[in-house]
Every structure is written in C-alpha cells, then in structure tokens.
Amino acid sequence: MTEDYYKEYIVEENKTESEFGKGTVYCLGLFLAHAEREIEFRAKMKDDPFLAEVWFNGASDHLYELIIPDNFPEDLKNRMYDFKDKCLRLGHGLRQEATNKDIDWAIKEAKEILFLIDRFYGVKSVKAVWA
C-alpha cells in the first residue's frame, strides 16, 4: 500500500479541535478503549455481522485522525495504514462484513503497533502474558 491511497485520510496538521481525537498513540489508545466494550458486544452478537460492524463503527472513529509519523520505518507505517484502512472499512458501511475474528485481530494489532512504537523509540517493552 502507498500513502497516495490514503489521501482521503490525510490529517490537517494545524487542526486544534477533533471530534474523536487526533494523534498517534492517543488515537490508538482511544481505539483500544473500545476493547472492553467488545466483551459486551460479543455476548450479544454470536457472529452477527451487524453488531460487529457497530463495534468497528465506534472504535474506528478514533482512527480518522490517526497520525502516522513520516520518521517511522516503512514496515511500521504500512502496517498502520493497513490497520487504519481495514478498521475504517469494517466500521463505516463499505459492505465488508465484520466478525468476532476481525475484532480479535484489530485489538491484537493495535496492541502490537503500540509495542512496535515503543521499540522504535527505544523503550524496552515486554509483552504482557495476560493481554
């Protein structure tokens, strides 16, 4: 994937207000705040694509203004662009049915991206056993 594909998601740099947040780690954190809500949805959904889409709709709103820094390694940037694109597609009516498996992937991928950002900045992170 190239950055050109994501031009519709380019974030206005000087913007001082945001409905769902703007940033890198901040937006990923807001997305992951919906992970706890996933438990409630999962009890109701039993692979009902509509409810999974509802979960992605709320969680992925925080990814519209996810900033992917230019200085990140290409593989990390591409992974973040792919994550953002897939989550937005699953949650915003582009006729791709979401499942429990997609929610599991998205939560795991957001955590992995945060871990890789720590590594990029030299933070000696250790993955949680119970995460």
| 9 belongs to a structural domain | no
Q: How many domains does the chain have?
A: 1
- From first to last of its 131 residues, the chain has per-residue pLDDT tens of 444 444 455 566 677 787 888 899 999 999 999 987 766 666 666 656 577 888 898 999 999 999 999 999 999 999 999 999 999 988 886 666 788 889 999 999 999 999 999 999 999 999 988 86
What letter represents residue 32's amino acid? L
Domain-embedded: residue 94:
yes
Query: Which structural domain, as residue segments, surrounds residue 104?
Result: 20-120
Cβ 32 vs Cβ 110: under 8 Å: yes
Could you tell me if 93 and 49 are in contact, meaning their C-beta atoms sit under 8 angstroms apart?
no
CB atoms within 10 A of CB 61: 20
- The secondary structure of 12-44 as a DSSP string is -TT----SS--BSHHHHHHHHTTHHHHHHHHHH
In a domain, 97, yes or no: yes
**Is residue 129 a part of any domain in this protein?**
no
In a domain, 46, yes or no: yes
Residue 105 lies in a domain: yes
